Structure 1
């Protein structure tokens, strides 16, 4: 049962609204710096546990056995840093160890962090069980908000709404955080019709914060509603709240989309004024916005400012700048920048390389694309699913069927769990049908079956290829029954159509 008293500050869980933009080295350095320079500390030891299989609990026990003290505030700080690094398993181990220590007084905010980590590591069901098992005095505003956040992340509207109702009954709705979670859910689900009601309820219980207004502006931008967006922004200013870079970014995007270039230039300038080291992500947004208004000088100015502010650009920032240069058709500059990234990258992330690969393919420069792909591999960059998918599309445009099939198979084989792209599958089969390539169609059917993806439409695509080739397939209905695939009207029509044709000579491809 939900406790009716709020035992700790909502600040303990406020950070659930957004992830910190932090690089691994920077986060590790912050812990080391706060752990007294270069000497041995518990923080240093726990942050050095890079591999998940290593135990944070063993490290803490060893520290205690050596006669050192373990303080709650220090562990809380380490947990925060581990969460920024997305090293949730070790953060959870520390939280679980803390709950077993009788000399550590935990607050609802501590359990809120614990619940969030359980959701990330073990899933929703485990998080709900953890919440149900909490003592009544710990099921206050922070833990309720953490559970609500979990529902929002899983896009579970019904559960989130039910929990909101319970929180309202318990008097936990005196701060905009929970409402912001619901607004975020409705925005991500496209349920814009529910937003006004949430905002009205929020205003009746508390005051909106800048996050509320930013989410509201996002809805306006999604609906291309400039008039309402400007009213929302005016209301924000009247509430004496300081708009942040997200506010100006959302407005600028809306103005650009609405072809209000002069207004976009004004909000873009305001956004640039407040961009700083503390909100690093703002710079990537500035790059994209300057690109969208065709301001190449602005793009280079922001990039130069970024390089002066930060010791090293990360992959996401190189990706953003490369995308900007490609969009501005500055291919030579993009190639130079890619060479720079290649020389300093420690990740060799294929997603950065894919920006240039896609540019060559979009320009129908498949020879350049193949040469670039070979360069990627030679330089130790492992192609990912998107790499092979891009090459598949490129060779489809070139009508190079053998390479289409080869790259498509490599794409599917590069991932543990494949989420089938029906459009791509359809285009590959269309290429085979145009050629009347029944051997290729049968090979692709066999490959898709082995990948765990076979359907009525795929069989129909194979049958269309037979029809185009003027050949009759053998025992199609039996094969579909074996694959547990239903025949539809199109299947029956195609079987009837091909039944009068010559028998195919490629039945031995089937399995």
Structure 2
């Protein structure tokens, strides 16, 4: 992919143009939805090796029009599905082919996409070509984001000095990024210094500031410090408490074995259900946390509340099955699975995989095989995890040919970047044929399960905007739209 320099669109006033585009976008929203769209055409192209540019070019050749607001929404949507290469292609096509002027926000999004696709060096090369009139608040914020995620301390510090000189460093987002980086590097003194600077300058804490502070207290196993931060957060009238901050607190107390304190945070989380726009995610987290407290009755209570108040979704069934597995409640899992199968939801193997794992672990392979066959007959696609569970069960029975067969099926449904592991299956076959160490077979099964489970987890870390995630400051979100 060729990365060209940013065009400043000569005499065009990009702010006025963006205002025009936003008005136009609002008008478009009042029109009937088209049956055909650019996004509908490119959405099936999930393979990052395939370019979406031919789809975009064909759209224009057919005489269709496109608007900047529409392209920005497509970029956002693609990025939300981690299709960063395709999102970057759309961003570049928007200016290189359609010659639409870019704003600092567009450049900031592009910088982050370049970071995801190519890495930090390419980000810096691109940044050096940005015209002076586009070097604004969101662009420097995006660059700082890339530096902090890369843990490039010196470069991040240089950006912080730059933004102080420019007068941008009056909002907490800059400090949150730096503090999170130092926390992950174990630089507690630097983090404390940044907090002190915020207080000296009268910069208010926001939810991310409190999240970083809580994480620091969790890492130090300082329950008393956590108590103080929670009290300060709740008494801060300028801060709108996000439920993810309570999740951090609950997880921290659980890590220290303080069940009663964790339950108090869970009670506050339940209080957020009436106002949250992410209820399905919140329900899954509450189920997970109640399972970790060992409160099985509370787990079922929340499950029944969810079913009576919300539209049932696969990911919440997934969360309930995962939570029940912590109690080895096979009977409960079977009942939930039966309920899920009768719900009419799309067959998602992530839900029965927990029960398949249980059956394979305790030697009931026939039940596992029957469940897999049933799922496939219902239109489900058995995942890498499914076949690895089965391979593990066969290995316990020393049914080596079946182990290799199951592993071959696992490899066949692996994401493209794991296809090379096919060689490992062939190696395993060699071990089986020659009767050598089965540790290599177990190692492969463990690797594949670990990799595939990381893809199947429906929730990111409790704070989606920290630990390697991109932060966009709240006011920028409202004005430009979240990335």
| TM-score, scaled to structure 1 | 0.65
* Contact 1:318/1:341 (8 A) holds in 2: yes
Partner residue of 2:196?
200
How far is the alpha carbon of 1:331 from its aligned partner?
Answer: 1.9
Partner residue of 2:44?
51
Rounded to whole Å, the distance in 2 between the matches of 1:132 and 1:374 is 56
In structure 2, the CA distance between the partners of 1:337 and 1:442, relative to structure 1 (3 Å rule), is closer
Partner residue of 1:16?
none
* Contact 1:388/1:408 (8 A) holds in 2: yes
Structure 1 counterpart SS, 2:107: helix
How far is the alpha carbon of 1:223 from its aligned partner?
Answer: 3.3
* Post-superposition CA distance 1:32-56 (Å, at most 9, x none): 99723535499x5445532335546
* Contact 2:14/2:101 (8 A) holds in 1: no
Max radius of gyration: which structure? 1
- Measured on the aligned residues, the alpha-carbon RMSD in Å equals 4.4
How far is the alpha carbon of 1:376 from its aligned partner?
Answer: 4.0
How far is the alpha carbon of 1:383 from its aligned partner?
Answer: 3.7
Aligned residues: 408
* Contact 1:350/1:387 (8 A) holds in 2: yes
Q: Which one of 229, 246, 249 corresponds to residue 248 of structure 1?
A: 246
Q: Which one of 258, 263, 266 corresponds to residue 265 of structure 1?
A: 263
* Post-superposition CA distance 1:387-433 (Å, at most 9, x none): 34333443444455554455456555654445999xx99xx99xx8x
Task: Tell whether 2:225 aligns with 1:228.
Answer: yes
Partner residue of 1:333?
332
How far is the alpha carbon of 1:312 from its aligned partner?
Answer: 4.3
Rounded to whole Å, the distance in 2 between the matches of 1:372 and 1:225 is 46
How far is the alpha carbon of 1:251 from its aligned partner?
Answer: 1.7
Task: Tell whether 2:32 aligns with 1:38.
Answer: yes
Q: Which one of 114, 120, 127 corresponds to residue 131 of structure 1?
A: 127
Partner residue of 1:237?
234
Structure 2 unaligned residues grouped into runs of 5+: 1-12, 19-24, 46-50, 445-483
Partner residue of 1:291?
291
Partner residue of 1:441?
436
Partner residue of 2:471?
none
Structure 1 unaligned residues grouped into runs of 5+: 1-6, 13-30, 450-511
Partner residue of 1:21?
none
Rounded to whole Å, the distance in 2 between the matches of 1:287 and 1:166 is 45
| TM-score, scaled to structure 2 | 0.69
Rounded to whole Å, the distance in 1 between the matches of 2:26 and 2:299 is 35
Higher mean Cα deviation, 110-119 or 252-261? 252-261
Q: Which one of 115, 129, 136 corresponds to residue 119 of structure 1?
A: 115
* Contact 1:46/1:59 (8 A) holds in 2: no
Partner residue of 1:485?
none
Task: Tell whether 2:110 aligns with 1:108.
Answer: no
Structure 1 counterpart SS, 2:277: helix
* Larger RCO (CA under 8 A, 6+ residues apart): 2
* Contact 1:385/1:412 (8 A) holds in 2: yes
In structure 2, the CA distance between the partners of 1:190 and 1:173, relative to structure 1 (3 Å rule), is same
